[in-house]
Structure 1
C-alpha cells in the first residue's frame, strides 16, 4: 500500500512543476529548477540533498552524483550482509574511498595501496589516526617488479598509456610525466593484510584506471578467499591495452562472482553514453544473512 502511494505521488509531481528522477524501487530524487534537489531513499532513512541548476548538462552531473551515492549505499549494505572484515582498497589515491567507508559505519580493517609517492603521502596522513587502516606505497598487478606509471593526471594516473579515445576526451592525457613504481602481486600481500583477523572475509575494491584485471589476476588462487569485489569496467576504453567491459566481467564471473549492481561513473556529455561503470559483485554462497 505504501509503495503504491509513493508511486502515485511520483506520477503526480510533474503536473505541479516538480522534476522526478526515479532511481530504484522506493528511491527517487525530486527537484525544481534552480532549487535544492532532495531524495528520500525508501525506508532506509537516507537522504541526498544537492543544489540544483538549470541546464541539461548539470542535470546529468546530478544523475551521476546520485549514482555514486547509490553505489556507496549499496556497497555499505554488501559489506554488512557478507560480514566483510577487511577491505583491500587498490588504487586508493588520497583515501577518498576508505574515508567514505568509515563515514558509512564500516569498522573493519582497510588495506590501501597507492603507488605514486606524492599522492601516497596524502593517503598516509589521512590514515595516521586510524589504527585499523593500513597503507602501502605500491601498485598491485599480475607480475611483481617495477613499472612506469603516468602521473599528474589527478585521480586518473595509470600504468597504461591513454588510448586515442582517451586523448580526445581528456586534455590532461596530453600532459603529465612518468614515475617508476613498485608493483606487487595481490597473493603476495594477502597474509600480511589479514594478519590477526581470526575469520577473514575480505572484499576487493579496484580503481586502477584500466589495470583492474591485472590486479585481479595477481590474486591467483587466493581470489577464492574474497567474498566480493568492486571494479571499474569501461564500455569505452580510455587506456591503451585495457580490457573491454565484457572481458573483465567474464573473468570475474569465471571465478564465481555475480553482479549485484552497475553504477555509471562518467558519461559522454554529447551522446550520453556511459564511459565507465562501477561494477559490484559477490560470491552469493558466502552471504551471512
Structure 2
C-alpha cells in the first residue's frame, strides 16, 4: 500500500454510484465522509479509490459540511485541460439540477424528445428518477437501440417518430455516427466546427407528429400527470414546442437546447427561443453549456431548464415517510 494512506473509499449508501467521479484530467468530484485538505487520489478498481495525503492537489468543499462533497483538483493538470474539466463539471451539474427539478416539481412523466440511443433516460434512472419516460426518436437505427434499452423497464416507452408543429413526413439528415441528426441543413459555421459530424449527411424519411395529438396516449394511466418536456432535436425545438398547441399548459417544466451560434441553417437563436418559452409561462432555473468554440471560447449551445413557478408552489405535498 502507498505510504501515508489517508483513506480507502468504497461504494456505500450513495445510490449505487461511485463516490469519486472524474470530471476531466486533473479534477474529480468527490462525495465521501472525509474532509482532509491535502488529498491525492488513485483508482484501485471499479469500486475502490485510494486517497493519499500530499501537497499537489487541492480540496474545495462544495456545499455545506453535511453534504460531504467537494472538488479534488490538481490545478496544473486541470488548467492545462480546462475545457475538458469544465465540460465534465458542467455535465454533472446539469444532470443533478434536472434531477432536483424533477423531484421538486413532482414530475411523473418525462418526454424525452430526440432520444438518440437513450443516454438521457439512462442518466435519469441513475439519478433516481423512477417515473414514466417516453422517448421519441425517428431514426430507425436508434429506435432499435432504444427498444432494447427499455425492454426491462416497464415505465420507459419508445415512440418511433419525431415531434414537430405538423403531422407529416420529412427527410432527416443523418450524419456519421448519427449523433447530430437534424431536419435542418448544417450552417457554414456548423460544417467548419463539426467537420466530421456534419459532413456527408444521409437522408432518411421519418414521421413527424404534433404533441397535442399524442399527449393523451403518452400520459394514459397516470391519474395526475405532471409532465416534463425535454427537447434535444438539433435545431427543431421550437417546432416541437409549438406542436403542443393549447396543451402546453399541461407541461410543468421543460428543457431545451438553445443556440448562441447556430450550427444549422434556419435554427433559432437563444433570444427567440427564450422569448417564446417565457410567453408561455416558463422561467429559467438553470443554463449549462453543451458545446464551445475552442478558438474563441464562445458557448455554441446551452441546455436551458425552465419551470412554471406555480408547478412548485402548487405541487402536491411530499409523501409521508411514515
Q: Given the two structures, how large is their TM-score scaled by the length of structure 2?
A: 0.76
The answer to whether the 8 Å contact 2:27/2:78 transfers is no
Query: Which digits, 9 at most, give the CA deviation of each residue in 1:27-71, with x for residues without a partner?
Result: xxx999x98897754144556779998475622111011111101
Unmatched runs of 5 consecutive residues or more in structure 2 = 1-25, 29-37, 43-55, 318-322
Q: Report SS of the residue matched to 2:179.
A: helix
| Distance in 1 between residues matched to 2:154 and 2:310, nearest whole Å | 31
Residue of structure 2 in register with 1:115 after alignment: 138
Residue of structure 2 in register with 1:279 after alignment: 304
| Distance in 1 between residues matched to 2:226 and 2:261, nearest whole Å | 33
| Distance in 2 between residues matched to 1:149 and 1:66, nearest whole Å | 32
1:155 aligns with 2:176: no
How do 1:172-183 residues align onto structure 2 when only pairs under 5 Å count? 172-183=197-208
Deviates more, 1:247-256 or 1:166-175: 166-175
Q: Report SS of the residue matched to 1:87.
A: strand
Residue of structure 2 in register with 1:90 after alignment: 113
The answer to whether the 8 Å contact 2:27/2:74 transfers is no
Work out which structure has the larger RCO, using CA pairs closer than 8 Å and 6 or more positions apart in sequence: 1
The answer to whether the 8 Å contact 1:148/1:181 transfers is yes
How do 1:49-198 residues align onto structure 2 when only pairs under 5 Å count? 54=77, 58-153=81-176, 154-171=178-195, 172-198=197-223
Residue of structure 1 in register with 2:225 after alignment: 200
The answer to whether the 8 Å contact 1:53/1:59 transfers is no
Give the one of 39, 42, 46 matched to 2:63: 42
Deviates more, 1:247-256 or 1:34-43: 34-43
Query: Which digits, 9 at most, give the CA deviation of each residue in 1:118-166, with x for residues without a partner?
Result: 0111111111100000001101001111000011243211011001111
Q: Report SS of the residue matched to 2:213.
A: helix
Q: Which is richer in helix?
A: 1
Q: Report SS of the residue matched to 1:94.
A: coil
The answer to whether the 8 Å contact 2:109/2:219 transfers is yes
| Distance in 1 between residues matched to 2:58 and 2:271, nearest whole Å | 35
| Distance in 2 between residues matched to 1:191 and 1:113, nearest whole Å | 15
Query: Which digits, 9 at most, give the CA deviation of each residue in 1:85-105, with x for residues without a partner?
Result: 000000000000000000111
Higher-Rg structure is: 2
The answer to whether the 8 Å contact 1:160/1:239 transfers is yes
The answer to whether the 8 Å contact 2:285/2:305 transfers is yes
What RMSD over aligned residues (CA atoms) do the two structures have, in Å?
2.7
1:214 aligns with 2:243: no
